[in-house]
Structure 1
Amino acid sequence: MDHDTPDALVTYGLLAAWALHDAEEVAFGPRWLRENLPRLRERFPGVPEAVWRAAGSVDDREFRAAVAVMAVIVGSAAVAGRRSGGRSAFYQGALNGFGLHGLVHLAQAAAVRGWTPGSATSPLVVVPFTLWARGRLRRAGVLRPARARDVVAGLAVAAGATVLSHAAARALTRF
């Protein structure tokens, strides 16, 4: 590889940063949600009841399985990034989605006026890693431009991957 090609830390680092972040979510997510669901329902009465029922039905086993499915997705993106020297649209989309996901965690914490699972590692790991990796990709001349539609697409891909992960986890944990 030449000096302009992003190194493994930029590409495989996505998986490492994601793992650190999701360790926080695995450790605290389902329990925090169960404990705070009544307060959240009261604070956000406009959220449809079906959303609260779905959120409250995710147990620890299903949540861990969803994280494992997401690990495969993020790991695949990291490998695609490494193989393409950071050029892969899949890798860059996952990187952007990861960073945007961190901003969503910060917005959630602001909305509940306190800590939420994922909000501690978002400003310490998720957002800084994403900005650093994007800077490295930019300096290497391989970063795709980020337009407003790319932000929307990044959020949609992150949300879709989350829904897919939970659907797969629910199917896997029924056995």
Structure 2
Amino acid sequence: MRTETPAPAAVPAPAPGTATVTWGLLAAWMLNDAEELATMARFSGMPQRRVGVAIGLMGCVVAAASAAGSRTGGRSRFFRTAVTGFGLHGVTHLVSAAVLGRYTPGVATAPTVVIPYALWAARRMRAAGVPLTDGEVRGTVLRGLGLAAATTATVQGVAWLATRDGRR
């Protein structure tokens, strides 16, 4: 008896002009996290090695989101949520600096790279017929914040496990 394997689901053709937006997420993230890599250990008291591991792990997540966006022409919910979370994360940089009344890691690139990229990406995706929100802004914001928070906590935990020296 011969069984037929179902054909894989067709991936929609990329929306025109979305490649720059999808891979732009990774580029904008790299600029922001270069600043964080250079300043986070001194600011937080975390070992530089742990900071590097956490940033590297987050880079894997952002690269996966960019790849998912590229593969689907920006239609991937993971990509759209990541862009939203990234933009909101830029706002948290500004808030943390305002609350502390001083420089905090990432605050220099938040208003110059992170937030402008997220706003530009939202406009470009909307123009390409692939809005980031699916018409439900509140849900998109909550998913974006949730993804940013969960991913940050996870990579920090994994980085801690990977860099601890065995002393208890």
Q: Which has the higher contact order (CA 8 A, sep 6+)?
A: 1
Aligned length: 152
* CA gap 1:2/1:73 in 2 versus in 1, 3 angstroms: closer
Q: Does 1:33 align with 2:23?
A: no
Structure 1 CA distance for aligned equivalents of residues 144 and 79 of structure 2: 11
Q: Does 1:149 align with 2:139?
A: yes
Q: Does 1:7 align with 2:25?
A: no
How far apart are residue 5 of structure 1 and its match? 2.1
Residue 107 of structure 2 aligns to a residue whose secondary structure is coil
Q: Does 1:91 align with 2:79?
A: yes
Structure 1 CA distance for aligned equivalents of residues 55 and 136 of structure 2: 27
Alignment of 1:18-167 (within 5 A): 18-34=29-45, 58-143=46-131, 144-167=134-157
RMSD (Å) for aligned C-alpha atoms: 1.8
Asked if 2 retains the 8 angstrom alpha-carbon contact of 1:101 and 1:158, the reply is yes
> Which structure 1 segments of 5+ residues have no match?
35-57
Residue 141 of structure 1 aligns to a residue whose secondary structure is coil
Bigger-Rg structure (1/2): 2
Asked if 2 retains the 8 angstrom alpha-carbon contact of 1:102 and 1:122, the reply is yes
Instruction: Give 1 or 2: higher helix fraction.
Output: 1
> Which structure 2 segments of 5+ residues have no match?
1-11
Question: How high is the sequence identity, in percent, across the aligned residues?
Answer: 43
Out of 146, 159, 165, the position equivalent to 1:169 is 159
Asked if 1 retains the 8 angstrom alpha-carbon contact of 2:85 and 2:148, the reply is yes
* CA gap 1:3/1:21 in 2 versus in 1, 3 angstroms: same
Structure 2 CA distance for aligned equivalents of residues 70 and 3 of structure 1: 25
Asked if 2 retains the 8 angstrom alpha-carbon contact of 1:24 and 1:118, the reply is yes
How far apart are residue 174 of structure 1 and its match? 3.3
The code of the aligned residue for 1:163 comes to A
Instruction: Render the CA deviation track for 1:77-120: whole Å, top value 9, x for unaligned.
Output: 00000000011000000000000000000000110112111000
TM-score scaled by structure 1?
Answer: 0.81
TM-score scaled by structure 2?
Answer: 0.85
Residue 73 of structure 2 aligns to a residue whose secondary structure is coil
Instruction: Render the CA deviation track for 1:100-159: whole Å, top value 9, x for unaligned.
Output: 000000000110112111000000000000100110100011112342232122111101
